[in-house]
Amino acid sequence: MANPQSATGLSKFGDLKNRLLFLLGALVVFRIGSHIPVPGVDGAALTKLYESAGGGILSMLNMFSGGSLQRFSIFAIGVMPYISASIIVQLASEIIPSLKALKKEGEAGRRTLTKYTRYGTVLLATLQSFGAAAFVYQQNVVVSGQFEFYLTTMVCLVTGTMFLMWLGEQITERGIGNGISLIITAGIAASLPAGIGRLLTLTSQGSISYLMAVALIVGALALIYAVVYIESAQRKVPVQYAKRQVGNRIMQAQNSHLPFKLNMAGVIPPIFASSIILFPSTLLSWFGSANQDGWLQKLATLLQHGQPVYILLFAATIIFFCYFYTALVFSPREMAENLKKSGAFVPGIRPGEQTSRYLEKVVLRLTFWGAIYIAIVCLIPEVLTSAMNVPFYLGGTSLLILVVVTMDFKTQIASYVMSSQYEHLMKRSAMKSLSSRR
């Protein structure tokens, strides 16, 4: 006769296995779709065009889409419209009173905000697909009629973005981790073999010395270690729970803490900072390409990777978005109210307004150092690219996304296993209690 406890354990890990298999299958579908091209484009001519575009916004968007933009596949614009729409809705929910009221309505309000996010995704994806179609058509790489190409491209790109949005939601619900983040990470990881192959090719051709190649690899590993170490750091604010009655039970006084991460904004600040700076620089390079000596071309050169102006603007926008996004996702007043309602307080701080000001002070200090840390991680590759004359771009933003999302994925698995074990122990306790009554 089978042991009920072992059967429960197998069922628990079987569910985890099914979730991981679903995640793997979804990422395989994403990678297959990134190789399905939009009809009507000469692939060879488009590849040459992309290679001549340099390291503008096309390179960044191509990185996030897993090479789909370079191949102009149905996933060419990726999930960036969804991310942008999410940020806009989050910002609006803090400013517009009606949306702010929806945010406080629980699950029903969340569904309504999700619906608005999807509408915004469709709108932004439509605008971006039209822009992509117009740009590609002007480069003389289209082999079909203008109206047919525009219509086909817009339908394919918008449908591809909406499918990725749906796929990310399915991964979040039926898989492990945040689906959108994992799709972006999978796209970045898919470009790693090509980057390593290019480094080996340049080394064998003599463009990069073996010492520089080893230094780049060691530096990347050291940067990964530093990111893991800092992302694991926490600022623990002590919290005490007073003696209180919950139902018929008397809960004794307890000591706990509130964990605050040094980087509360995650990977959103460098993504938006890159978009804001690279977009005007790419437009300037397009408009100024006709006149190589014009002021537009000179201004575009100042905003290219490795230039001092670009580095300063990049650092400033990263720091700004760190504060901006942290203010969106964290409300010290709301947390202070929740602590007060649950009978908890910070030792030495009066509940209510003083607790809110104290938590805001702690978060502002953490955000300052977190913003400096993110800026340094993202700017180190920029400095190396210009100072060591590395003949290809090293992405600090992509490295940060890879490490942060991977750590979050590991935490999600550990939390799922722990919650399953807790449910298993609760079931065993209930069975023992039932058998003792009999």
pLDDT number for residue 254 = 73
In sequence order, the 6+-apart residues with CB closer than 8 A to the CB of 103 are: 93, 109, 110, 113
Rounded CA separation 242/343 (Å): 6
pLDDT number for residue 159 = 94
Domain locations along the chain: 11-190
Query: Which bin fits 2, alpha (ψ -120 to 50), beta or left (φ > 0)?
Result: beta
pLDDT number for residue 26 = 92
Task: Give the up-direction half-sphere exposure of residue 146: CA atoms within 13 A in the CB hemisphere.
Answer: 6
pLDDT number for residue 175 = 84
CATH top class, domain 11-190 = mainly alpha
Length of the chain: 438
pLDDT number for residue 109 = 82
Averaged in consecutive runs of 10 residues, what is the pLDDT profile of the chain (438 residues)? 46 75 92 88 74 57 68 84 82 80 79 89 88 80 85 92 92 86 85 78 79 82 87 85 63 75 83 71 54 60 69 87 85 84 82 88 91 87 66 68 86 79 68 65
Beta strand pairing call for 249-251 and 254-261: unpaired
Rounded CA separation 410/85 (Å): 27
List residues bridging with 240 in a β-sheet: 255, 345
pLDDT number for residue 249 = 62
26 closest CA partner among 205, 172, 223, 188: 172
pLDDT number for residue 6 = 45
Rounded CA separation 208/201 (Å): 9
